[in-house]
Amino acid sequence: GQQLNQSPQSMFIQEGEDVSMNCTSSSIFNTWLWYKQDPGEGPVLLIALYKAGELTSNGRLTAQFGTTRKDSFLNISASIPSDVGIYFCAGQLRGGSQGNLIFGKGTKLSVKP
Amino acid sequence: DAGITQSPRYKITETGRQVTLMCHQTWSHSYMFWYRQDLGHGLRLIYYSAAADITDKGEVPDGYVVSRSKTENFPLTLESATRSQTSVYFCASSEGGGSGANVLTFGAGSRLTVL
């Protein structure tokens, strides 16, 4: 099936550092979403992106819809301990069914106080 | 309670048994989904439904059955559980139409162990 390549797989950072992660694909996407999952919980939506080149912020989080429509980036500025969790990108393929998303395998973020 | 709820949260069963995982949402969302989450695979779509009585296969449908007789409920049944179906299962829902269909809200998950 279609794949999203999400990197890095895991990150260990110091509190206060900035974080960057990304998802890439060989296919074109109409929508990109970024989710965060805390242990024992379901993923929670952070940011949704709908247009190529779109840059959207949610507090310390900023995500971009790549101009080629084949990638997306998530940045977290000034990380804090509660940023710990697994971050997933998800996308809807161009021509794909509405609601039928493909998920990346996740980036596990650990923050050292 | 408002939102999307899954039950049971934890289930242990034996190979060959039938298991049903329940999902209920209170928003009247058109779309509902079942995903499984496994280490190394991320989230993979099992089945989804665009409306009551309409269901479609996702990436990994084999061994699973779904139904959607009411908009608010979307049960997932494993007719004869296998060890490979040990996983965490997430139900999700979204509004219908346009880009809203892609913004999924997830339940808390059901952890299933098949012995």
Model confidence over B51-78: pLDDT tens digits?
999 999 998 999 999 999 999 999 999 9
Q: Which residues of A touch B31 (CB under 8 A)?
A: 98-99
User: Of B83, B110, B62, which is closest to residue B13 (Cα–Cα)?
Assistant: B83
Summarised one tens digit per residue, pLDDT across range B82-109 is 999 999 999 999 986 666 667 899 999 9
Could you tell me the pLDDT band of residue A1, with boundaries at 50, 70 and 90?
low
Per-residue pLDDT at B11 exceeds 80: yes
Confidence of residue B1 (pLDDT cuts 50, 70, 90): low
Nearest partner of A77 among A18, A37, A2, judged by Cα: A18
Between A and B, how many CB-CB pairs are < 8 A?
A: 66
Mean pLDDT of chain A: 92
Predicted confidence (pLDDT) per residue in A82-98, tens digit: 999 999 999 988 777 76
pLDDT of residue A100: 76
**Closest partner CB to A100 (pick from B43, B45, B107):** B45
Is pLDDT larger for residue B98 or for residue A103?
Answer: A103
Question: Cα B76 from chain centroid?
Answer: 6
> Which residues of A are less than 8 Å from B103 in CB distance?
33, 45, 48
Nearest CA in chain B to A46: B103
Confidence class for position A101, pLDDT limits 50, 70, 90? confident
Cα dihedral B28, B31, B37, B40, rounded to 10, equals -150
Please give the structure tokens belonging to residue A113: 């106080």
| The three-state (H, E, C) secondary structure of chain B, written as one string | CCCEEEECCEEEECCCCCEEEEEEECCCCCEEEEEEEECCCEEEEEEEEEECCEEEECCCCCCEEECCCCCCECCEEECCCCHHHCEEEEEEEECCCHHHHHCCEECCCEEEEEC
Res. A3 pLDDT band, cuts 50 70 90: confident
A62 forms bridges with which residues in the sheet? A57, A75
Mean pLDDT, residues A43-66 = 95
Put simply, the answer to whether B102 touches A33 (Cβ < 8 Å) is yes
Question: For A97, phi and psi rounded to 5 degrees?
Answer: -70, 145
Q: What is the pLDDT of residues B71-83, one digit of tens each?
A: 999 999 999 999 9
Residues A1-26, mean pLDDT to the nearest whole number? 92
Query: What number is the average pLDDT over the span B10-34?
Result: 96
